Structure 1
């Protein structure tokens, strides 16, 4: 019996392949082709147009770092906005904070939500049923342009800047997001793997520096986002969030009352220590 492999060709000169032990879902929606398959190392894997989006095995790193870092840095986040995140993993982690009163999640593709509930329920773990969650099926850029609400934390859980996700990397989108943040609010963004996608980080940082008094990024290594650590953009109208000391983060995490598989207060602080090649990508 021959083996079946899916090869992700996101980068021009580098590819990674994952073995398909069992194809569980394969369908083309209005926006993209979705696949879910079983892999012996990572469990269930979701791809969009054969680009890995999330896996049962290592999603916890990505989701924990994009939620707990800004929420615990803020210290009093009540309203959280998630752009993207149709698999429910980001909502899962944000809603672990009992101090968070409301999460708005904006997903462009209802099909992603529907099949994630069926094929990837281990990612959302009931988040879609939490009364604090409002799910909006809409284009994230249009929602951000039109919303009059203010948010303490905005999490941009986007695909790469190709296809439907491209508009979530524009100066216009970031400008609308800056307006929607509270005075001490924080926006965090998925900014790819800097070793392979340096321009993505540079362009976001250039926009953030024009919009926010505090603009930087932090990193974490996620096995299936290959090519080195992933960068997460950070923007705020206040320096308070990034300047919070370790003891304060430790106290806030202890008060939150849960444990993580990747995130901890020490990782929180260390994630902002950037390798030289990443620093050079920040204007």
Structure 2
């Protein structure tokens, strides 16, 4: 063990996590990302971008199920979906499980991410890239939402952290254009980091989303890979009733789909919107 290479995450300045590398599978820097993929005995294959963990084989299902199914079942009538980012294919896989969805548009800036994940993380997408409903577009997410005329029931921003090529997906201009591209009763969701260590990002997102959505909040899930506590997902909609769906309504909607999940369930859905008081206090002051 002492002879194995150790990889340190560099997201937080004064503390963090490390992984023992059993085998490096891929390592290369391109104009968008510095990518590394390696094997770890506990978490399986791990992909890092710009020295920040992006996904692992072991616990990816938590992230992808929560970012997908919470808005889909809250809405109840999703037909057209836009995914920004998500090149590993996990969000796409979960979206494709819903046969009632008509169209899926996915915008990824780096085709290399998609190709690498098809090779090293095939279970993430599970052949979802072959779904006939998918339109895959290689473009910058902000550029796409500025220029498209298409409207969506759901927009999911599955971005990296707000550094490098992912930074623009946290700008007010991005949220404004996402709002413009949503249909009536549409929902916007996005990953928003670990609240305990990235509270300034939570505040920034909250302030910006409040400018464009009547109902702005966050929901959460605990994902072992993302060090520091609960991961936050931003939520924006103009219809508060979508977020306040009852447990009975959720159970009924989920039962009709006959889908089986590894993390998501109706009780998790409802409770995920219950935020710790320190976050509520912080948002109240924003």
TM category, shorter: over 0.9
Tell me how far apart the structure 1 counterparts of residues 100 and 22 of structure 2 sit (CA, whole Å).
41
Give TM-score scaled by structure 2 length. 0.97
Unpaired runs of 5+ in structure 2? Answer: none
Aligned-partner SS, 2:46: strand
Quote the residue 1:28 is aligned against: 29
Q: CA RMSD in A?
A: 0.9
Q: How many residues align?
A: 283
Quote the residue 2:228 is aligned against: 227
Quote the residue 2:212 is aligned against: 211
For the 8 Å contact 1:29–1:111, the answer to whether it is kept is: no
How far 1:255 sits from its partner (Å)?
A: 1.0
CA deviation digits over 1:23-56, x for unaligned, max 9? Answer: 1111112211111111111111111122100010
Quote the residue 1:111 is aligned against: 112
Quote the residue 2:124 is aligned against: 123
How far 1:226 sits from its partner (Å)?
A: 0.7
Moved over 3 A (4+): none
Quote the residue 1:48 is aligned against: 49
Tell me how far apart the structure 2 counterparts of residues 7 and 267 of structure 1 sit (CA, whole Å).
31
How far 1:225 sits from its partner (Å)?
A: 0.5
Q: In the alignment, is residue 175 of structure 1 matched against residue 161 of structure 2?
A: no
How far 1:5 sits from its partner (Å)?
A: 1.1
Quote the residue 2:17 is aligned against: 16
How far 1:116 sits from its partner (Å)?
A: 0.9
How far 1:280 sits from its partner (Å)?
A: 2.4
How far 1:134 sits from its partner (Å)?
A: 1.1
Quote the residue 2:87 is aligned against: 86
Tell me how far apart the structure 1 counterparts of residues 102 and 36 of structure 2 sit (CA, whole Å).
33
Quote the residue 2:103 is aligned against: 102
Tell me how far apart the structure 2 counterparts of residues 244 and 168 of structure 1 sit (CA, whole Å).
28
Quote the residue 1:160 is aligned against: 161
Aligned-partner SS, 1:77: coil
Tell me how far apart the structure 1 counterparts of residues 276 and 82 of structure 2 sit (CA, whole Å).
29
Tell me how far apart the structure 1 counterparts of residues 14 and 103 of structure 2 sit (CA, whole Å).
42
Quote the residue 2:197 is aligned against: 196
Tell me how far apart the structure 2 counterparts of residues 88 and 174 of structure 1 sit (CA, whole Å).
23
How far 1:239 sits from its partner (Å)?
A: 1.3
How far 1:281 sits from its partner (Å)?
A: 2.9
Tell me how far apart the structure 2 counterparts of residues 154 and 245 of structure 1 sit (CA, whole Å).
23
For the 8 Å contact 1:87–1:116, the answer to whether it is kept is: yes
CA deviation digits over 1:225-246, x for unaligned, max 9? Answer: 0101011000001112101111
Tell me how far apart the structure 2 counterparts of residues 101 and 166 of structure 1 sit (CA, whole Å).
30
Quote the residue 1:187 is aligned against: 188
How far 1:272 sits from its partner (Å)?
A: 0.3
How far 1:115 sits from its partner (Å)?
A: 1.0
Q: In the alignment, is residue 133 of structure 1 matched against residue 134 of structure 2?
A: yes
CA deviation digits over 1:48-67, x for unaligned, max 9? Answer: 12210001001100000000
Tell me how far apart the structure 2 counterparts of residues 39 and 12 of structure 1 sit (CA, whole Å).
23
Give TM-score scaled by structure 1 length. 0.98
How far 1:104 sits from its partner (Å)?
A: 0.7
Tell me how far apart the structure 1 counterparts of residues 282 and 99 of structure 2 sit (CA, whole Å).
37
Please list, as runs of the form range in 1=range in 2, the aligned pairs for 1:63-74 lying within 5 A after superposition: 63-74=64-75
CA deviation digits over 1:106-137, x for unaligned, max 9? Answer: 00001101111111111110011111111110
For the 8 Å contact 1:184–1:240, the answer to whether it is kept is: no
